[in-house]
Structure 1
Amino acid sequence: MPISAARASTVDPTARRPGTRLLSRLKLRHLTLLTRLGRLRSLTRAADTMGISQPAATKALAEIEDIFEAPLFVRSRQGLEPTPLGKLALVRAERMMLDLDHWGQEMEAVRSGRAAQLRVGVIPFVSERVLTPTLERLCAQGINVVLYRATTDQLLKALRGHEIDCVIGRAAAAVGMNDMWHEVLYTQRPALIAHPALAKRMARTKPDWRLLANVDWILPSSATPIGNMVTELFTREQVRPPVARVETYSIDVIAGMLRNNQNLLSIVPEDIAIDMASAGGVARVKWDWNWELPPVSLIRQVRDLPLDVEESFAHIVREVCAALMQPEQGA
């Protein structure tokens, strides 16, 4: 065998990977400097916040650009502006620093006797009958939970930015995201809700889309699944969609306004409508909907090695949702 061939066979295949240069040379101080430059756009201010001199910061930036083999910033009147490669570096550096921060929090949790910390994003239209038993079982396992409520698109942005660990939301918003994995937990049907007095009046009349269009509405934004659904339904019936008097995703606000206004309608998932009616002051309006909302799903990042705390959460929320759906399926 030729000597050159023998030498080639011993070369570490990982040495040819694009990330090898970063793994071998990129340091924590480089990541820190990148995140500070991304926020401050000034070497002087970044150096001050890191407690180093400007020449040291300049040298560190030169090292970073040597690693990337291209400039990451250009000077402008507004300060340092990232190049396209610099924008990518800033996003990745920010995520890596967040991961390290969360790692530190998890280590502290374990040292103090708790299992871990889980950051969960949940859309507003998930019933407390799902959330409460899920959170109780997580806490019983010693897992600390930080709960975030927002729309699915907002939560997915936080998930991709490593600000939260997993999401209970609408999987339709995650379509095409190859770095996201999701599983359906349960489906939801829409329900019309109103003040009990308005619900009684509407029960005595024949369903009429034009009548609905002339009633005052409180709705989520038209960019959300329910808001978009309302627009589609009225358009399909060749009726101009109503303009919401108030746009909100807040269950508390919707319930409060319906209790205080006998001429106001809203539409929410059926399980949320049941919760509201049980609390009092809100009633369901009988209406046939030939439509279902996008299913509620558990959405997680694709990982080579799933985190134990995420697996525990997934197992618990599956069981809670399955138990919640059983009576409905048997009806």
Structure 2
Amino acid sequence: MTAFDADDVVRKLTQRLKMRHCLLLLRIEQHGSLTRVAEDMATSQPAITKTLAELEAMFGAALFDRSVRGMTPTPLGKAALARARAMLHDLDHLARDMEAVVAGHAAHLHAGVIPFISGQVLSGAILRATSSDQQRLIMTLHEGDSHQLLAGLRDHTLDLVIGRASAAADIQGLHFDVLYTQQPRLIASRRLAAQLARRPPDWRELVELDWILGAVHTPEREQVSNIFLAAGIAPPTPIVESYSTKLIGELIVANDKAISIVPADVAEELVRIAGVAIVPYSFGWTLPPITLFTRREDLRHDAYASFADALRQAGRQLADRNGERRL
């Protein structure tokens, strides 16, 4: 195997790499054909072939395998694609930051947020971060599960993620700051909650109700499954799978057979907003902790630190108010 000279590659990339090279890599990955890439980029195939050859010369190796089925990235090509995608996202974020600075703000942050987080915590942190005279920010929020959001953090689509730390999460190379834990709460319509509150939980009875839950493989869903499996009962098949806490609340209020398990802070918000009721059952577990994830190289960015401090303060206030555990 030929030795790889990293210093030589860095020198070549620094002198010759252009953003069009990064764009070309992504277009080849997308289309798998230089002919289709040329059509997409409104240029000729010889020009595309020449640009790819320039790029592979910088790396000193092939970035794509060619076959009758099309072009697929080599291991080196996959690494280059990941960095190219991140560079293009960073370029977009640079333009957004510049726009924010011109408008009198410190930066424009793209934050990924899982759905089951208290609106009070999130809004409190955002208000502090966007109203500070020293580090006034513009925020764009993106919702998804922790797996999706951490992938967006890695490819630089997102600047930070507020998600759950768990053994299943791929956090290698990321910095994480565990904020607080959440207790689970069983919620139902007021009529059903009043009926269930009169007796201890009967999971054989509860499994027959209309469950509304998050998607499979989410921590909330897995914990519900574990409750029933521990009781020797097959977990319920939900009538609705949803990440929308607002929708969960509306469905439960409209159906006296509907039931769900959500974090305590979310349950309390749904009591106020949607009119659900909390069934006073006590569970012997907590959900994986709410955690702030960032890329290691971004730790010293003042804008990140400003929002992180605001989020920690809001999380501490919630934990103190609800008697939940701060970490």
TM-score (norm 1): 0.88
State the partner residue of 1:319: 313
- Alignment deviations for residues 126-157 of structure 1 (CA, whole Å, 9 cap, x no partner): 11111112222222133111011111111111
Fraction of identical pairs, as percent? 43
Larger radius of gyration: 1
* Cα distance in 1 between the residues matched to 2:234 and 2:19: 57
State the partner residue of 1:143: 137
Conserved 8 A contact 2:62-2:74: yes
1:175 to 1:41, Cα distance in 2 relative to 1, 3 A: closer
* Cα distance in 1 between the residues matched to 2:322 and 2:253: 27
The amino acid across from 2:28 in the alignment is L
More displaced stretch, 54-63 vs 222-231 = 54-63
Question: What is the aligned counterpart of 1:83 among 53, 65, 74?
Answer: 74
Conserved 8 A contact 2:9-2:58: no
CA displacement at 1:21 relative to structure 2: 4.2
Question: What is the aligned counterpart of 1:111 among 70, 78, 102?
Answer: 102
Conserved 8 A contact 1:188-1:293: yes
* Cα distance in 1 between the residues matched to 2:201 and 2:316: 34
* Cα distance in 1 between the residues matched to 2:64 and 2:73: 4
CA displacement at 1:74 relative to structure 2: 3.5
Conserved 8 A contact 1:98-1:163: yes
* Cα distance in 2 between the residues matched to 1:188 and 1:296: 8
- Alignment deviations for residues 187-213 of structure 1 (CA, whole Å, 9 cap, x no partner): 101000001100111122332221212
- Where do 5+ consecutive residues of structure 2 fail to align? none
TM-score (norm 2): 0.89
Mapping of residues 128-207 of structure 1, within 5 Å: 128-141=119-132, 142-172=136-166, 175=169, 177-207=171-201
In the alignment, is residue 267 of structure 1 matched against residue 258 of structure 2? no
The RMSD of aligned alpha carbons is 2.4
More displaced stretch, 260-269 vs 94-103 = 94-103
In the alignment, is residue 279 of structure 1 matched against residue 273 of structure 2? yes
State the partner residue of 1:39: 30
Count of residues paired in the alignment: 318
Question: What is the aligned counterpart of 1:238 among 232, 243, 253?
Answer: 232
* Cα distance in 2 between the residues matched to 1:222 and 1:98: 30
The amino acid across from 2:242 in the alignment is T
- Where do 5+ consecutive residues of structure 1 fail to align? 1-13
Residue 288 of structure 2 aligns to a residue whose secondary structure is: coil
* Cα distance in 2 between the residues matched to 1:174 and 1:103: 32
Conserved 8 A contact 1:183-1:299: yes
Conserved 8 A contact 1:156-1:174: no
Conserved 8 A contact 2:111-2:139: yes
Conserved 8 A contact 1:152-1:173: no
State the partner residue of 1:62: 53
